Chain A
Amino acid sequence: NAGVTQTPKFRVLKTGQSMTLLCAQDMNHEYMYWYRQDPGMGLRLIHYSVGEGTTAKGEVPDGYNVSRLKKQNFLLGLESAAPSQTSVYFCASSHLYEQYFGPGTRLTVT
């Protein structure tokens, strides 16, 4: 039982490049989330999903897209990366109130 896993762990992008972050959970949770964590800003919700095939915007959705084609996977896409998207990205899943987090992806955009 791996819980929540994230791929990749680290990535460096140039401005304007695109990439996809993959999150996978093996707990059969309905809800999944993408957060970003920046110094002094705490965890901010980017997008979330309440079930397979659904997505919704969170607090800071601009510049990101998501897809939930399978219940166990939640993908976060950056179509044209900007330096302001340099951050640590966390995926989480939940059944009820309690969220389980992945180990994070550290993304640097130069």
Chain B
Amino acid sequence: TQLLEQSPQFLSIQEGENLTVYCNSSSVFSSLQWYRQEPGEGPVLLVTVVTGGEVKKLKRLTFQFGDARKDSSLHITAAQPGDTGLYLCAGYYGNNRLAFGKGNQVVVIP
């Protein structure tokens, strides 16, 4: 089993603040993905990072893949209530399978 640990488990911040959540593993992944899940819905893919050191931006969200391809971070600038959700990281481990972390629950208070 490919273990992905996400921290912090829960984060509550005020609208307009910045936040960073982390996804760490002892395993090397050829690619890593971030999904966002809202209550009562399935996860929705936000980004895929493939190259060690890669940085991708999606509006106010910045994703970074560690140089060794074992870890990743998600930074949200000027968080909005619409950013509230469960953020899941997932590492690809062959035969099109993903190993998921337990998630970072983010709550942005208006």
A residues within 8 Å of B by Cβ? Answer: 4, 31, 33, 35, 40-45, 48, 50, 56, 58-59, 90, 92, 94, 96-104
Contacts and interface: CB of A to CB of B under 8 A. Distances in A.
B59 interface: no
A42 B97 contact: no
B88 interface: yes
Given A101-B44, A102-B42, A58 B97 contact: yes
8 contacts: A42-B100, A43-B90, A43-B100, A94-B96, A97-B33, A97-B96, A102-B42, A103-B40
A59 B1 contact: yes
Interface of B: 1, 31, 33, 40-45, 48, 88, 90, 92, 95-98, 100-103
Contacts of A44: 100
A97 B31 contact: yes
Contacts of A58: 97
Interface SS of A by simple majority: strand
B45 A100 contact: yes
The 8 A-B residue pairs with the shortest CB-CB distance, nearest first, are A101-B42, A42-B102, A43-B100, A31-B96, A42-B100, A101-B43, A98-B45, A90-B42
A43 B96 contact: no
A7 to B, nearest CB: 14
Contact of A40 (B88, B96, B102): B102
